[in-house]
Structure 1
Amino acid sequence: MTDKLNFYFETAKSAKIGIWEINLESSQVFWNAVTRDIHEVPHYFIPSLEKGFSFYLEGENRTRIKRLTEKTISNGIPFNDKFQIITAKGNVKHVENIGQIVYKNEKPYKLIGTLQDITKEQNLIIELQLSVEKFSSIFSSANDAIFIIDTSNGLITDCNPRSSELTGYDNNELIGLHNSKLFPVELRTELRLFLKYNLNRNEYTLNETCIKTKSKDIIPVEIASGKKFEVDNITYLVCYIRDISERKNVEAKLNLLSLAASETTDTIVIANEKGEAVWANQAYLDLTGLNMEEVIGHKPGYLSKGPETDLNASLLMSKAIKNKESINITILNYSKNGEKYWFEVNITTVFDSKNNFVNFVGVGRNVTQRIEKEFALKSLLDVTNSQNNKLFNFTHIVSHNIRSHSSNLSMVVDVIENTDDINEKLSYFDLFKEGTEKLSESIEYLNEIITIQQKTNIEKTKIHLKSEIEKTRMALSLSIKESNILITDTIPDNLIVTVIPAYLDSILLNLFTNAIKYKSPERNATLEIGYEIIDNYTVINFRDNGIGLDLKKNKHKLFGMYKTFHGNEDAKGIGLFITKNQLEAMNGKIEVESEVGYGSNFKIYLNEK
């Protein structure tokens, strides 16, 4: 008997089954080592009935174990149930407890039982239940229609509520329906092969097709097949069907938009939130000379900047993109082969319905012709304004000077008419003659000015400046000799300027004669002629050491008509005015540096464009 008992205990220990006993006569309780391990108590722990009950979760578990124990002792009815306990270390465990009465002399003697830790098994069962619940929830609430098909006959054995919404059939009509009935006749062969392929390969696949609803409507769908599974020797296949009508409509619209964007002459670029291009149409590629690889992933315009590109315009675009703002701007760009073009671009920031940034859309066009016309119009307006100002000045000159001469002549005629003395009349003829000569001279100057202002389109030619200076020196050789002025120049023999020759001849004569007229009596007169290149101008310097000018007092009227500053009898006040007009007619200009008592430097700017 003892050997059998030991065998029993060893077997229970190997199977990790706990053994417990309650002596009903002495109330002593026995736990074997496995029972102690399950409760996570030390080997020296002395169990009791109340201590044993205290390990069961307070509430339903503890109440139930007490009730079953009392019932077994009273009525001798065995129990077998599952409980949750809290071990001495605070761990919650699931246990299976079995108890029964042992009789001695037909009286209850002991309550013995076994205890087994079933925590892992119970957790698996709970997890499986949760999975079933989750699957049931997903199956019922999925947006896709889900069909479970018996592969032996092709019949639908189960489906979710969405299946009814999609097909128009109620669930009772769908269950038992052959799956092919859901598709148009012309597509059934294709779908049969699709399902057969999935069944053989047993892998997830996707295909686009159409279904035919109960009301005969054709709906584009996406059909997916999962892996097959087997229950009671029957193989099933799960199919997911998704309505893609909206996506197809969007795709159709996008295709139309894409076609329109591809064919339009306007350039279109779509960029991400960093401003990097994700798409560009052919018009943009044609305008810039770039290929798609040079555009995608880069910021549009990174290869379009050149020496004349406006840096401020580029900074404005960068700032707008950084702040996710829309902007409209016109900028000078360069194509890949270096050709300049004016580019007007409207960058729009696109947001979705929740105000989340989507992308930038830049729509632009080549506006070079328009800008060039605007420049030409502005230039024409500038010329017109200049001509109007000159006309106003000219009118004032004509009004003032001719009226003065005519008034003087009228006075002389009036005096002659009102005297009877022949000698007195004859004496006034000299005044009349002088007045007519002055009037004729004024008219001649005015004609010359009109000629200059009218001939703004005379073609310029290239000439050697050194030769022209020598011609002027020879023409004025007598005046130069009499004035004892020393004229030197540092003009190279090969220096070529682009001018209207007649105007340059007049300008040189005026500047030479001015140096002679206004030499200083206090020193030997000199005139030094040099040159320098400034931007697009060849600048000729005429530096003398004459009496000089008070520029603070006279600079504003220095180049006016009939303006004289030194009281010379032969000064007409017309030379510098004509010089200024001739230079402006050649798109040039004149500047002066001067100081009284030290001389002047007249700077002639000859435009080489």
Structure 2
Amino acid sequence: MSLKIGSSIEMSELPFPVALVDHRFEIKEHSDVFYGYFGFQGADRLPNNLEDLIGRIPDSLKEIRRKKSLPKKPISEFVSYVSRKGELRWHKLVLYPDVSHSGYFLYFEDVTQKKIAFDLSVQAEHTAKIGSWEVDLVNNKIYWSDMTKEIHEVPKDYIPDLEGGINFYKKGEHRERIMELVSNTIENGGSFDEEFIIVTAQGNEKWVRSIGSTEIVNGKATRLFGVFQDIDQSKRASIKYQVLTDRMRVAVESSNIGIWDYDIVNNVLVWDDNMYDLYQVNKEDFSGEVEAWESTIHPDDRERSFQAVQEAIEGKKEFNTEFRIKTSDGSVRYIHGLGKVFRDEKGNATRMVGANTDVSRIKKADNRLRQLLNTTEKQNQSLLNFAHIVSHNLRSNSSNLSMLTGMLLENTNPEKQQRFLEMIRISSERLDETVVQLNEVIKIQSDPNVNLQWVHIKATLIEVLEGINAHVEEIAPSIDIQIENNLRIHAVKPYISSIFLNLLTNSLKYRKPKTELSIVVEAYEKDGNTIVSFKDNGRGIDMERHGDKLFGMYKTFHGNKDAKGVGLFISKNQMDAMNAEIEVISEVDQGATFLLKFPNPKQAKA
């Protein structure tokens, strides 16, 4: 017998996922779309218990099942669920008591997108804080960002531990409270966001804001992470607020905020003294009409500012705008204007009162902040390049030396031993040059152009080949270098060495079995650019399949166990840093050609 909702609608006809369950959460009735909502199809075996359907049920529902009594009010919970497609989904589950049937109605709503949007907004808000921290509960390790260490006034090489981190909190209520929060968060999940006093390594008391969350895996907390903010000044200012009330009032009155009053009906504009100082206008020279104000506005902002006033008078929007003014000495100031329109009983605008604030310093600070963010981004990119050169170039050189040493020990022929010793000497020199280049990379600042220099292509290529001479000796490829001795490019030499090394080792690594490897390297000038071409007859790349992700981070295409998927990503990044381009032409089993295109500035003579 089907359950009817109301007088005529059966539950099965409802267009949303709803079910009737008993005290054991056995599913007794459901809408036709209920199981389809969870990805089940007609031929599938359908679970008849809520726990079998969604996995672990919320504690509030477990409590209801234990008591076997109907709740008086609906219960709403958010639950996560791994769909039959392997996707993590979030649902809002609402339980309504059904008195007439001694059970519960369960309603589900998919809130995955809302949950993702919420998590992203929270993460964005937290990331904007000053410092960050993380506790690896599995390996009992703690990470502090440099700014977090700075807040604690410890050196950058300081290695924190959980007990030591807790002991920075001021003894008493602050330390006890953070211990309680951390323990509860680890045991029960969730998060915390509170303010504390810490005592830094230098003995200074400081107010901080600590925000923490847990990462739960299989019902167990594995990671505690969050952000750490120095709020000492703002907090102390807040505590002293009552004491400083009079001072603050005087400060506001004497601040550089101008008040204006505009009689719309009679076209009379009245300024206070701060307005004259703000605009650098003499009282005697000010006509008291709105046109006098408009004449001080920067020509590029005049029409927009006048439009903002008109829209406020017409009631379309509040007067809240920014504009520039030109003062009597020719300087430009940024002004933030706020205003409120007053109307008569008929709704006609009669008066407009507002304030102007000079925000020039804020604008300059904002521009400075943007410059710093750009500089930081570029410096982070330089560090990424440096890390790759350290791991890739040094590893290639050290591997080459290891191979040569092995060859030397395995051969007793004096002539071959002498040859290997010479190759070891050359490889050692190349290793030393690599270390020198790494030092140059460290010196690279935010603007890569100041680090560009004229690099001899052929000489650099030969140096790279000498650094991997053991690999070349072992594989014995045919290498044809078609480059004029004096041909140069304007670039960062450590980057060029890194790119050449990556392309050469890729050719050696991804050669076709049972086929002699052939590598052709040529360079030529074309259309104001210098082109360096690396061509081999190796295994090639399926460009139709992998072309759009060829230069992606951690992307590999041949299944080699030692492939990391980093080399081409870094090479592309380094080319971009030099305002150069890299292109690929390749087919499976037909080899690959990498084209490096460098713009030619006006060359000085070598």
Report if TM-score (shorter chain) is over 0.5.
Answer: no
Larger C-alpha radius of gyration, 1 or 2? 1
